[in-house]
Amino acid sequence: MGGVTVRLDDLPLRDDLRGMTPYGAPQAALPVALNVNENTHPVPAEVADDILDAIARALRDVNRYPDREFSGLREAFADYLGHGLTREQIWAANGSNEVLQHILQAFGGPGRRALGFGPTYSMYPILTRATGAEWVAGEREHDFTLSPASAAEQVVRENPDIVFLCAPNNPTGTPLGLDVIEAVYAVTDGIVIVDEAYQEFSPHDEPSAVTLLPGRARLVVSRTMSKAFAFAGARVGYLAADPAVIDALRLVRLPYHLSALTQAAATAALGHADTMLSMVDEIVAQRDRISATVAALGYTAHASWTNFVLFGGVDDPAATWKALYDRGVLIRDVGIAHHLRVTAGTADETTAFLDALASVGSRA
């Protein structure tokens, strides 16, 4: 290396970025990594083979730019979501984080404001500010639930241009009723984003916000292949919305933002949706086992419709986090006082976590 290095503060950085901290979930090579809500089950071999074939075919044409409209992939997402959706209503990008960034670039930006109900997904304020808008921190009840009346009242009071509703909510796992979405939509002229990153882990008979799309042109429902679909490393997120919203996102995306290899891999994986999702019930069983066992150890487990559990009653989260780390188990300190969050893994990983937590001593 060599040469002169300066501090970040010495660079002519945008004023509104000064003092910000980047997204920073620790990445450590521990035997049991249950910290970022991945599906810890590997992609089944027969699906991996099919994806490899699709990538190999795409590679032969990789001298050319990919299909800018990723029509095949959008068609596949429309089929997967069902409810009569067509590809004109679908958008995708490199992770739902990029999908959310596109929405903020198109509908947020300098002079505008985005509101979310904390504690919620830590990327919402980061993406909001990075695209030049102001973040407004709304609130939840003490048990992290959000009622239609409270949500609507806060939206009326703050009058944001964009509202984030995380359904179910990360990092708390809390379900969010469709009545909250309806109540918020009715009192705003802005964009309402429902982030359904964990929808597949909700009870199977619970309706998706996708059912609310007809007649609501400012409603956007985002999803990801990173969680239930065991595809976090491929970076694929998507959304469903009115075709006019999709037109707005075309204004801000980079040309050819989804590589030919990504399109091929994601389309092939979607062709095996049933197999890719076959582990979801197993993960939900491990989640419920975590909730019951941490409660038996004297902690409080918050209701979760996701693949993780937020538990409270932790005297010193940093100390418990470190004690688990030293036992080879990586979980997440999400910055909520006296709480820690753990992802439901395979049965063996979940056992490793529960045994380690028990050995740390209840209420360590």
Ligand X SMILES: *Cc1c(COP(=O)(O)O)cnc(C)c1O
Q: What is the contact surface with ligand X in residues (CB under 6 A)? A: 37, 95-97, 121, 166, 170, 195, 197, 224, 226-227, 232, 237
Closest CA to 226 of 269, 255, 258, 264: 269
CB of 176 to ligand X, least distance (A): 11
- Please give the structure tokens belonging to residue 138: 């709304």
Please identify, using beta-carbon distances, which residue of 218 and 227 lies nearer to ligand X: 227
Phi, psi of 360, deg, nearest 5: -70, -20
Residue with tokens 């619970």: 206
Nearer to ligand X, 311 or 356 (CB): 311
**Alpha helix positions (H), the chain:** 45-59, 71-81, 96-107, 123-130, 148-158, 178-186, 243-250, 260-270, 273-276, 280-296, 317-326, 347-360
Quick one: 173 or 190, whose CB is closer to ligand X?
A: 173
Token pair of 16 as six digits: 């509104």
Q: How far apart are CA 224 and CA 93, in angstroms?
A: 10
C-alpha to C-alpha distance for 49 and 28, rounded to whole angstroms: 28
CA–CA gap between residue 273 and residue 259 (Å, rounded) = 21
Residue whose structure tokens are 């439901």: 344
Residue number of the CB closest to ligand X reads 95
Smaller CB separation from ligand X, 37 or 346: 37
- Total number of residues shown for the chain: 364
> Which is nearer to ligand X, 133 or 356 (by Cβ)?
133
Phi, psi of 162 (to 5 degrees): -140, 135
- Beta carbon of residue 18, minimum distance to ligand X (angstroms, whole number): 25
Residue 149 to residue 269: CA distance in whole angstroms: 40
Largest CA distance in the chain: 60
Residue written as token pair 């027969």: 46
Q: What's the min distance (Å) between Cβ of 195 and ligand X? A: 5
Look up residue 246 and give its two tokens. 């999709």
Phi first, then psi, for residue 295 (nearest 5°) are -65, -40
Which residues 6+ apart lie within 8 Å of 107 measured at CB? Answer: 161, 162, 190, 191, 248
CA distances in angstroms from 195 to 87, 163, 168, 235, listed in the order given:
19, 11, 8, 16
Closest Cα to residue 41, out of 269, 244, 282, 270? 282
